[in-house]
Structures are given as C-alpha cells and as structure tokens.
Amino acid sequence: MQTIWAPWRVEYILGEKAKGCIFCDKPKENRDRDNLILYRGRSHFIIMNAYPYNNGHLMVVPYKHTSALSGWSGEDRQEMMELADLGVEVLRCAMRPDGFNLGINLGQVAGAGIAEHVHLHIVPRWSGDTNFMPVLADTRVIPEHISATYDKLLVALEQIIRVH
C-alpha cells in the first residue's frame, strides 16, 4: 500500500471546527497569509481553498454574507468577475495550467460546502490531472504544500499588480 502525504488535512480533521462563517470571520483578522487571503478588493476578496480540488484552487468571495446573487449592485457583480479574471491571470502566470473551471455552487444540494455564503471557485486544470485516485480511493493528490503555493501565487500577484 502506498501512502499519500497531505499534512494540511490533519489540521482540519483533528482541529476544532470554526463557529460562524469563515468567509465573514477570516477577512476581519489581520492574518492574510495564515488565512490564505491573496487579495482584498472593495467588495470581494480572493482566498485559496484550504481543502482544494486541485493545486492552486482559488475562490472569489464577497465580504457581504449572502447565499444568493440577487440584490447585488452592478459594481459588486463587476468586481466579482474582475477578481475572477485576476485569479485566472495569477494562476496562469505562477502555475501555467492548461485550462480552468470557474463556477458557483448555489445551495448545499448543488455542492456548496458553505452554502450560506456565495463564492466563485477558480480551479486550475492540467492535461492528465484526473486519474484513478478520486474514483477508486476517494483521494485527491495535491503535489505541492499549500503554503508554498500561496507564496508562489503572491509573487505572481505582486508582479501583475506592478505591471497594471
């Protein structure tokens, strides 16, 4: 039997589960690196998924606690898409994926892990990144520690911001 090492998972498995909404609480703290927040916009922020579908999995999240897209201003809708575009550009620069999945899961039955706070997923994809592990072993293989990925993405983000 082979062992897959995913050290960040044990923190979640053994750790105390957060009370409240992590998407509301984390931006209020002054610990962006610890909380995996890469970028703060006017009404949204970009955060890495701590339990990613794929290496570099990002999310664009509104500061406003809402489970729906209705009632948003045009500026708020526009910023979500602008930050999604920025996230794609950062991932493209830092990790050179072959493609991306972008999506919003509205409601628990639609797959939303945190259904009470809407968020847009940005999942980088590479040719051949799907394999037998999720199907047979219910396991995803993430090849790089999340802290190393955060540092790589932050450098790319700073370069992109300097250019623009």
Structure letter (DSSP) for residue 120: E
pLDDT tens for residues 123-153?
A: 999 887 765 444 444 555 566 788 888 999 9
* Domain spans in the chain, listed from the N-terminal domain onward: 21-163
Instruction: Examine the pLDDT at 22 and tell me if it is beyond 70.
Output: yes
Topology classification of domain 21-163: HIT family, subunit A (3.30.428)
| pTM for the predicted model, two decimal places | 0.80
Take residue 74 and report the two structure tokens written for it. Answer: 């045009």
The answer to whether the beta carbons of residues 144 and 43 sit under 8 Å apart is no
Instruction: Examine the pLDDT at 113 and tell me if it is beyond 90.
Output: no
Q: Which of 44, 57, 119, 121 is catalytic?
A: 119
117 annotated active-site: no
